Chains A and B, each alone.
Chain A
Amino acid sequence: MASVKGIRDKVAIIGMGCTKFGEHWDKSKNDLIFEATKEALEDAKMETKDIEAAWAGTWVSGFDGRCLADPLKLQYIPVTRVENACASGSDAFRNACYAVASGAYDVCLAVGFEKLKDSGYSGLPDQQSLPSNRYPDRTAPGMFALMATTYFSKYKLSPEEGKRMIGMVSVKSHHNGTLNPKAHLRREVTIEQVMNAPIVAWPLGLFDCCGVSDGSAAAIVVPADKAKNYRPDPVYVKALQISVCPSEGELRADYDFTQVKATTRAGEMAYAEAGVKNPRKEISMAELHDCFSITEAVTCEDLQFSPRGKVKDDIESGFFDLTGGLPVQPDGGLKSFGHPIGASGVRMLYEMYLQLQGRADKRQLKNPKLGLTHNLGGIPVSNTVSVLIIGL
């Protein structure tokens, strides 16, 4: 890396917005984009005309700059659509930050959005990555189930112990969602309900999988040295890292499904960029990509929150609970929000932002300093990962 300090403290967030996530039969993607951006502009005390350049993060709900320009009536400014699987929203934000840090622009907008519920399908479409269609039928839960099976076996957890471990992850996230009016699912679940739920792809049951939903979130960024012109409590960008794996796990027999190297690498690079030496102690809170409960558990190890093979101890002791030492998914996570793909990364930043400003209401943590967001697009054998850190 050219400079280990990278983006740290060069960019600040001065406004954010987020729609309620859910099955918005009555809202189009344009409605969602408009509502998230409206809240962000009001939060920043700005108007649309103040935005100098914009980035859209979406997986399949928009294709070129018009996807933002049309609904927001952006007037002939540069608009770019960014796609990086589940890291699309985070990557749109990253691009907006680099634009500001370069000195090219003073005010940039990043909007993550996804409208999935018009499709009528269960789950996400399979990624048809080969035009000759010579690939196995598999879904995301099917592929992450391999991670769970092998993790249980490698670390000698019985099926019951393993299912309990990942089940507790979902119980915790569901509880946090009850405290969040913007979450889609707002109900407590018991560990028994989670463990006995219908199986989607063994050992992953219904409550081990995040749902499909619609939503949008937006962020407005400015140069750090101008942030206090806009508000007294800006939030600063500390690290923006993406790590993309060359799909080794598809082809190499030495990938054992129990860790995701791209997460580890993105985490290492983010910690170096943000100046974090002991993640477990210095990261105050995290929004991780809990597409599946097992993913969150393994990610905690990949990001060095827990020692390799030992995340079960931290889950059971409540270390990741809202009242624990390193709260994970304080807003309820993908578990409570569902996963409108392009929106999720920005929704994660939204929670970290509110927490750092003391505006997280019933979920408010005590004096958080650094918030980490993590997205994992793809499957264990082939993925693109983002790790972002924002703080005071």
Chain B
Amino acid sequence: MAGISSYGAYIPLHRLSRPDIQKAWASMIPIPGEKAVAGYDEDSITMAVAAGRDCLTGIDPRKVDRLYFASTTSPYREKQAASVVAGALALGKDTLTMDFSGSLRAATNALRAALDAVEAGAAKGVMVTCADTRLGAPNGDKEMAFGDGAAALLISKTDAAVDIVGSHSVYQEFHDVWRSDRDTFVRSWEERFIREAGYMRLVPAAVGAALKKSKLAPGDIAKAAIYAPDPRLLGMAAGKMGFDPMAQLQDPMYMSVGNTGSALALMMLVAALEDAAPGQNLLCVSYGDGCDVLVLKTNDRVEKIKDRRAIKRHLASKKMMPGYLKYVQWRGLMETEPPPRPPINHISVPALWRDMDWGLALHGVKCKKCGTPQYPPQRVCVMCQAQDNFEPYNFTDKKAKVSSFSHDNLAASIDPPTTIAAVDFDGGGRIIFNMVDRDPQDVKTGMPVEVSFRQVHFFEGIHNYWWKCTPIRC
């Protein structure tokens, strides 16, 4: 039976306090909590990669033959994002890559499709990744509510830790929350309409139908991971669904992360799985132009999925942003004074394609003669000068430390200073990276670091991805 055999998630390090947003706009309505904000060099693709790496901890990527990417905020309108994620995760070239987009149900759609494919024997391991960086218009309710985040699930028959028990879906064609192809910011209709004609009408009914199909009562559910734009709405729906809000509802993380859009239901499910015991019934519910309900049951293997950063560890590892304007700057919401530095004037597409293996997957080579790992791949060994005598070498799973660093105030950066770190890897090899997600005064020679997939440049419509390093996140 198809099920979830591994999970992972990602929450950006940076958090913006809602009172800081309120203060910036001198708004009267106090809204508490904080939202997770993707860094200026992060987007839905980089976050999906981070969640995917978390999910693949200790798992051979060759077990994956499909990669699904779900988001309402893909960096591209026309160009597949799943192929970038698959490249960064070093999945095989014959992996079937698919993008799911366009709705808050994109991730559960992808999850349903993955379960169906595996159950039918059409695929053996489907990695479902989802991530969102939705934007609400400045000085609005959605800007307050939205947060950024990602989740990843590996769907397979072998080693399934969470089995699919049942499901139910309904669709509804209406505009309660939406964004057209000409909009930067998400739009929404009147809140009462969203609540009464949308959420409260659809979700309890769909959940009820799903439970009935699976011959379960509300009390049989250990934890329900139900998408909700805010906790108040979830509480109202809980009553209608017959759930005890305190005991049975998974925290929608409104106060700590915010509404992460299409990624939220799966992030909540991952959080539930972190605490789940074997033999528990779980629900995963999304809402958006309809409602997807998945009824799941954990088995013995759920406690064997360990060592995941998932939700808990990412939640606990955070850095408050200095204020609202930093968010405005990172999201490019305001034109600001450019630095007196030359702009990028070229990215070569043939070079991006040619360099894909080392650029996206951070694979270098190891000299077969002297054993020296080196990056990027060379034709002549940097140590012994042997020619064309190499084997592929993966740098992403090696421990690393900083052998020297500097904080460069001259380099143009959205977030100066630019930290340059010479990173030396256990087993050999050195790569010089920029370091981000750090406090400059905490950077020390010898400190351990890890690599992180980031968007490094954007030029003429091309999002250019490579790697940076960060202190060990969590």
- Cα distance, A138 to B435, chains bound together (Å): 11
On whether the beta carbons of B382 and A145 are closer than 8 Å, the reply is no
- Cα distance, A121 to B355, chains bound together (Å): 30
Q: Which residues from B are CB-within-8-Å of A252?
A: 372, 374, 382-383, 430
Quick check: is A232 within 8 A (CB to CB) of the other chain?
no
On whether the beta carbons of B429 and A200 are closer than 8 Å, the reply is no
Contacts A201-B410, A252-B383 given: A137-B348 contact, CB under 8 Å? no
B341 contact from A121, A130, A255, Cβ within 8 A? A121
B314 to chain A, nearest CB (A): 25
Contacts A133-B347, A138-B420 given: A199-B355 contact, CB under 8 Å? no
Q: Which residues from B are CB-within-8-Å of A136?
A: 420, 432-434, 468
Best-buried of A122, A132, A252, A255 by chain B (most CB within 10 Å): A132
Quick check: is A123 within 8 A (CB to CB) of the other chain?
yes
A256 contact from B378, B403, B428, Cβ within 8 A? B403
Q: Which residues from A are CB-within-8-Å of B418?
A: 137-138, 142
Q: Which residues from B are CB-within-8-Å of A130?
A: 351, 355
CB closest residue in chain A, given B464:
A133
A121 contact from B340, B457, B459, B468, Cβ within 8 A? B340
- Cα distance, A202 to B434, chains bound together (Å): 15
CB closest residue in chain B, given A199:
B409
B440 to chain A, nearest CB (A): 9
On whether the beta carbons of B406 and A128 are closer than 8 Å, the reply is no
On whether the beta carbons of B341 and A123 are closer than 8 Å, the reply is yes
B451 to chain A, nearest CB (A): 12
Q: Which residues 209-265 of A sit at the B interface, judged by CB distance below 8 A?
A: 246-253, 255-257
Q: In the complex, how many residue pairs between chain A and chain B have their CB atoms under 8 Å apart? A: 143
Name the prevailing secondary structure of the A interface residues.
loop
Q: Which residues from A are CB-within-8-Å of B413?
A: 137
On whether the beta carbons of B340 and A139 are closer than 8 Å, the reply is no
Quick check: is B359 within 8 A (CB to CB) of the other chain?
yes
Per-position 1/0 for B387-420, Cβ under 8 A of A: 0000000000000000111111111110001101
CB closest residue in chain B, given A143:
B420
Q: Which residues 327-380 of B sit at the A interface, judged by CB distance below 8 A?
A: 339-342, 344, 346-348, 350-352, 354-355, 358-359, 372, 374-376, 378
Contacts A139-B411, A143-B406, A150-B404 given: A253-B342 contact, CB under 8 Å? no
Q: Which residues from A are CB-within-8-Å of B347?
A: 131-133
Q: Which residues 365-382 of A sit at the B interface, judged by CB distance below 8 A?
A: 381
Q: Which residues from B are CB-within-8-Å of A123?
A: 341, 410
On whether the beta carbons of B411 and A138 are closer than 8 Å, the reply is yes
Per-position 1/0 for B204-218, Cβ under 8 A of A: 000000000000000
Contacts A149-B445, A253-B424, A253-B430 given: A142-B348 contact, CB under 8 Å? no
On whether the beta carbons of A122 and B420 are closer than 8 Å, the reply is no
Per-position 1/0 for A111-147, Cβ under 8 A of B: 0000000011111011010111111111101110110
Quick check: is B10 within 8 A (CB to CB) of the other chain?
no
- Cα distance, A132 to B374, chains bound together (Å): 18
On whether the beta carbons of A134 and B429 are closer than 8 Å, the reply is no
Q: Which residues 168-183 of A sit at the B interface, judged by CB distance below 8 A?
A: none
Q: Which residues from A are CB-within-8-Å of B376?
A: 134
On whether the beta carbons of B359 and A134 are closer than 8 Å, the reply is yes
> A-B pairs with the 10 shortest C-beta distances?
A142-B408, A145-B406, A131-B351, A131-B348, A132-B351, A253-B424, A146-B404, A132-B355, A134-B466, A136-B434
A-B CB contact pairs (8 Å), 19 listed: A121-B341, A122-B341, A123-B410, A126-B411, A131-B348, A132-B464, A133-B346, A133-B347, A133-B456, A133-B459, A136-B420, A136-B432, A145-B407, A149-B404, A202-B406, A248-B382, A252-B374, A253-B424, A381-B432
Residues of A whose CB lies within 8 Å of any CB of B are 119-123, 125-126, 128, 130-139, 141-143, 145-146, 149-150, 153, 199-202, 246-253, 255-257, 381
